[in-house]
Amino acid sequence: MDKSIKTAVYDDELRLEAYRFDGIMQPFPNHFHEYYVIGLVERGERCLSYRNQEYTIRAGDLLLFNPGDNHACSQTDGGTFAYRSINISKEIISELSMEITGRKNLPGFSPTVIRDREAVCCFRTLHGLIMDSSREFKKEENLLLLLALLIRRYGQPFDEYVPECREEIESACAFMETHYSEHISLEQICRHSGLSRSTLLRAFTRSKGVTPYCYLENIRIGAAKKLLEQGTAPVDAALMTGFSDQSHFTNYFSRFIGIAPGVYRDIFTAKEKTGGRSHE
């Protein structure tokens, strides 16, 4: 009985496909795609034939398939295979490459099998956001960061000069600090600051040490803390600070603060009941 799980999602904001296969055993015959494929092996061992050269791929390997390059693979360890990937058209890669490098040339990635912890981390985040149907600009941010990293390390070289853009960055910060309770897009921040998406990401990260979305998260968490300290219910604090739902809010709050928002609120409720004395 086939217990494999196959999930496919089309993201209409990023205009790309995302796939996740878990528990599959089927081989894939020699074929090629007209688009770019970025894939991550999560479990299992396979023999990959790419442009008639053989590779052994294992968990943690990131795969970069260029359009038109033939490839095939089959299981070699007797187990099952888990794999996630995104498919990006040449048109979208060309647009993003122009924004990242200043040139509209299509990159040719090499080698095809890489082990790059930073790239894998960025890919996992991006893929998870796509599969969760996220509407936050963190998704767009991670796509640009991932492609910039891959082009820089494994594609055509480009100028890594990062302008300071101090006034523009402060303008972007001010915009997020004013509108954090709303649904903000990366495009809105770019229009307000007068920077392209790629320039904003690089200059902002260099200036602030975090990405724009991480900066926005911190603003939202800080505002939520103040509301919780005043006794606001976590579900209301989530909605008042721009989080899409309470679950999303709870996950972020716990990751930043170390405790759940309800627990944080109870600390201040307990102080009021004990005349200002906190207790364990």
Is pLDDT at 6 greater than 50 in this prediction?
yes
Residues whose CB is less than 8 angstroms from the CB of residue 237 and which lie 6 or more positions away in sequence, other chains included: 224, 227, 228, 249, 261
Is pLDDT at 111 greater than 50 in this prediction?
yes
Output the average pLDDT for the chain. 90
Is pLDDT at 274 greater than 90 in this prediction?
no
* pLDDT tens by residue, 256-269: 888 899 999 988 87
Q: Out of 162-166, 172-176, 226-230, which region has the weakest mean confidence (pLDDT)?
A: 162-166
Is pLDDT at 31 greater than 50 in this prediction?
yes
Helices (H), 110-196: 117-131, 138-154, 166-179, 186-193
